[in-house]
């Protein structure tokens, strides 16, 4: 029998509370005018636990649910579905939760342990004719773009002909010039191991690189950077430990004394050619963009935390007296000079997260970026959120806020057309309306946020707090 969810966890209440209904809406009500040029689907992924978990719950550990919002000829439709992973299937059959967060073996049923199942709850990307639901400990999970049901000969898992050599990040990088997808995976040789897989897949689904990098220690590595010549993998001191997990202590914990270590691997070489740069302890969930300058320097714009949020110290005590916040920084590395140093420049002092940009300019110098402004890691705290646009060429920025307790989803850029100039298009964000307990899809002119949404598509239900999504152009 399904048990009630705990009421003392802020990531199971309000905006974060699970929804237990899968729904379809063919014609959403619209305020304003939906741009006629918009034709495609916004796919968004996030944790939505089907059942109350065993043991302590962490926001990152809920079952994946895909929210698909399709826009065509001014009409907007909506569909949400849980990702039918092996874990989801067995728990759905049993009618109760059978696992702990992150598959903690102290709380997880042996039947679920044996499945070694993805939860596919972090991101969703379109590549090589496949819609892939991603997390960061397993292979991608392939879904039908219209029905959101699993497809493929392996029940949903996409293993590229069994050529993957390790887990698959939730944040692969797509080369807009070659169509290649570059990705990594931490704990590549088993749970809480220090090795990192480095892999490439061509636009037609052929694995061209599958290597293992030896890392300095086991760490949660959420995202990375890729430029024309380098794969950049940062190892921050948010460490993983099976010994801690089995002792009932935090599986992942903040250990700043281990420092930060950043690997630079040549795209045209191998892991044997890696260059390491040491840095003070910090944490980055997400970079914005990453590119090389004309004189060969590597530039990475990041949302940097001084202390990793959402995770404690190894003994379980808080890592900071208040929830840390991320701010936008630019890191510049001169690998031809003194390779073990880098320059850091703070670009803005506001708190924010979920940085996005016009990804046609991935791996190139760029001008426009967008974030959710506000300390999004502070689940139970009062905070003001908005969408902020950065013009990096002029140094100007613009923010649009909604209601005092409204919450914003990741801002996703959609170009007006394939040939549009950088930033010419729209930004899409799913906004939770706190007072009404439901959500809207908001469409903004990308470089004129100040005038507010040009159109809102209204849901009568709530899209719970999630992580990442992407736009796939064209009819379903």
Q: What is the pLDDT of residues 224-237, one digit of tens each?
A: 999 999 999 999 99
Q: Which domain holds residue 404?
A: 142-473
Label residue 442 by pLDDT band (50, 70, 90): very high
- Residue 244's pLDDT is 95
- Residues 102-114: tens digit of each pLDDT: 889 999 999 999 9
- Residue 168's pLDDT is 97
Within a domain: residue 322?
Answer: yes
Q: Which tokens hold the place of 263?
A: 């690997």
- Residue 262's pLDDT is 97
**Does 222 carry a binding-site annotation?**
yes
Q: Which of 2-6, 90-94, 325-329 has the lowest mean pLDDT?
A: 2-6
Within a domain: residue 351?
Answer: yes
Within a domain: residue 76?
Answer: no
Q: Beta-carbon neighbour count of residue 316 at 10 Å?
A: 12
CATH number at residue 438: 2.120.10
Label residue 2 by pLDDT band (50, 70, 90): confident
Q: Average pLDDT for residues 50-71, to the nearest whole number? A: 96
Q: Per-residue b/e over 440-461, b at no fewer than 16 CB within 10 Å? A: bbbbbbbbebeeebbbbbbbee
Q: Average pLDDT for residues 333-343, to the nearest whole number? A: 82
Spatial CA neighbour of 222 closest among 282, 170, 176: 170
Within a domain: residue 190?
Answer: yes
Q: Average pLDDT for residues 203-207, to the nearest whole number? A: 95
Asked if residue 358 has pLDDT above 80, the reply is yes
Beta sheet of 230-235, edge-to-edge order: 225-226, 230-235, 260-266, 275-279
Q: Which tokens hold the place of 164?
A: 């993957």
> Which parts of 100-141 fold into alpha helices (H)?
110-115
- Residue 339's pLDDT is 61
Q: Average pLDDT for residues 171-195, to the nearest whole number? A: 97
- Residue 148's pLDDT is 98
How far is CA 153 from each of CA 88, 114, 226, 330, 416, rounded to the nearest angstrom? Answer: 18, 20, 31, 43, 36
d(CA 432, CA 410): 12
Within a domain: residue 256?
Answer: yes
- Residue 384's pLDDT is 85
**Does 286 carry a binding-site annotation?**
yes
Q: What is the DSSP track for 219-281?
A: B-----EE-SSEEEEEE-SEEE-HHHHHTTS-SEEE-GGG-EEEEEEETTS-GGG-EEEEE-S
What does the mean pLDDT of the chain come to? 96
Within a domain: residue 117?
Answer: no
Residues 11 and 27 sit within 8 Å (Cβ to Cβ): no
Instruction: Give the alpha-carbon dihedral of 73, 28, 410, 399, to 10 degrees.
Output: 90
How many domains in the chain? 1
Asked if residue 1 has pLDDT above 90, the reply is no
d(CA 322, CA 382): 13
Spatial CA neighbour of 84 closest among 42, 133, 131, 123: 133
- Residues 238-282: tens digit of each pLDDT: 999 999 999 999 999 999 999 999 999 999 999 999 999 999 999
pTM of the model: 0.97
- Residue 338's pLDDT is 65
d(CA 106, CA 94): 20
Asked if residue 458 has pLDDT above 80, the reply is yes
Within a domain: residue 129?
Answer: no
Q: Which tokens hold the place of 303?
A: 């949302």
- Residue 380's pLDDT is 74
- Residue 322's pLDDT is 93
Q: Average pLDDT for residues 445-471, to the nearest whole number? A: 97
Within a domain: residue 384?
Answer: yes
């Amino acid at each position: 029998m399904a048990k009630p969810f705990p009421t003392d966890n802020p990531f199971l209440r309000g905006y974060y509370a699970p929804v237990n209904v899968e729904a379809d809406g063919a014609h959403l009500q619209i305020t304003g005018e939906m741009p006629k040029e918009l034709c495609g689907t916004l796919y968004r992924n996030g944790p939505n636990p089907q059942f109350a978990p065993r043991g302590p719950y962490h926001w990152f550990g809920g079952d994946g649910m895909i929210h698909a919002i399709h826009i065509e000829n001014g009409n907007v439709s909506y569909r949400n579905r849980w990702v039918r992973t092996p874990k989801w299937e067995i728990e759905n059959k049993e009618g109760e939760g059978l696992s702990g967060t992150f598959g903690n073996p102290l709380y997880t049923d042996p039947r679920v342990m044996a499945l070694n199942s993805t939860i596919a709850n972090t991101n969703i990307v379109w590549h090589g004719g496949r819609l892939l639901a991603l997390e960061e400990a397993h292979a991608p999970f392939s879904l039908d773009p219209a029905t959101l049901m699993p497809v493929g000969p392996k029940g949903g898992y996409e293993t590229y002909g069994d050529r993957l050599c390790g887990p698959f990040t939730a944040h692969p990088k797509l080369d807009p010039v070659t169509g290649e997808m570059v990705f990594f995976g931490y704990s590549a040789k088993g749970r809480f191991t220090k090795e990192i897989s480095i892999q490439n897949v061509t636009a037609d689904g052929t694995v061209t690189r599958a290597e293992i990098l030896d890392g300095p220690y086991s760490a949660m590595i959420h995202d990375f950077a890729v430029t024309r010549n380098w794969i950049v993998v940062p190892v921050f001191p948010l460490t993983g430990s099976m010994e801690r997990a089995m002792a009932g202590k935090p599986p992942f914990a903040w250990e700043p004394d281990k420092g930060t270590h950043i690997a630079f691997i040549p795209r045209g070489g191998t892991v044997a050619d890696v260059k390491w740069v040491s840095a003070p302890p910090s944490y980055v969930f997400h970079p914005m963009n990453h590119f090389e300058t004309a004189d060969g320097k590597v530039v990475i714009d990041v949302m940097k935390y001084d202390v990793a949020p959402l995770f404690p110290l190894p003994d379980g005590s808080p890592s900071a007296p208040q929830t840390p916040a991320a701010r936008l920084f630019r890191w510049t590395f001169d690998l031809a000079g003194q390779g073990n140093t880098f320059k850091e420049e703070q670009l803005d002092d506001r708190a924010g997260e979920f940085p996005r940009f016009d990804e046609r300019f991935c791996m190139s110098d760029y001008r426009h970026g967008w974030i959710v402004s506000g300390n999004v890691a502070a689940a139970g705290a009062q905070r003001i959120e908005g969408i902020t646009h950065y013009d990096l060429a002029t140094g100007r920025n613009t923010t649009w806020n909604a209601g005092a307790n409204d919450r914003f989803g990741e801002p996703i850029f959609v170009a007006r057309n394939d040939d549009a100039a950088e930033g010419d298009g729209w930004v899409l964000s799913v906004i939770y309306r706190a007072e009404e307990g439901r959500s809207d899809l908001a469409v903004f002119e990308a470089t004129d946020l100040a005038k507010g949404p040009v159109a809102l598509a209204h849901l009568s239900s709530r899209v719970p707090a999630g992580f990442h999504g992407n736009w796939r152009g064209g009819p379903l």
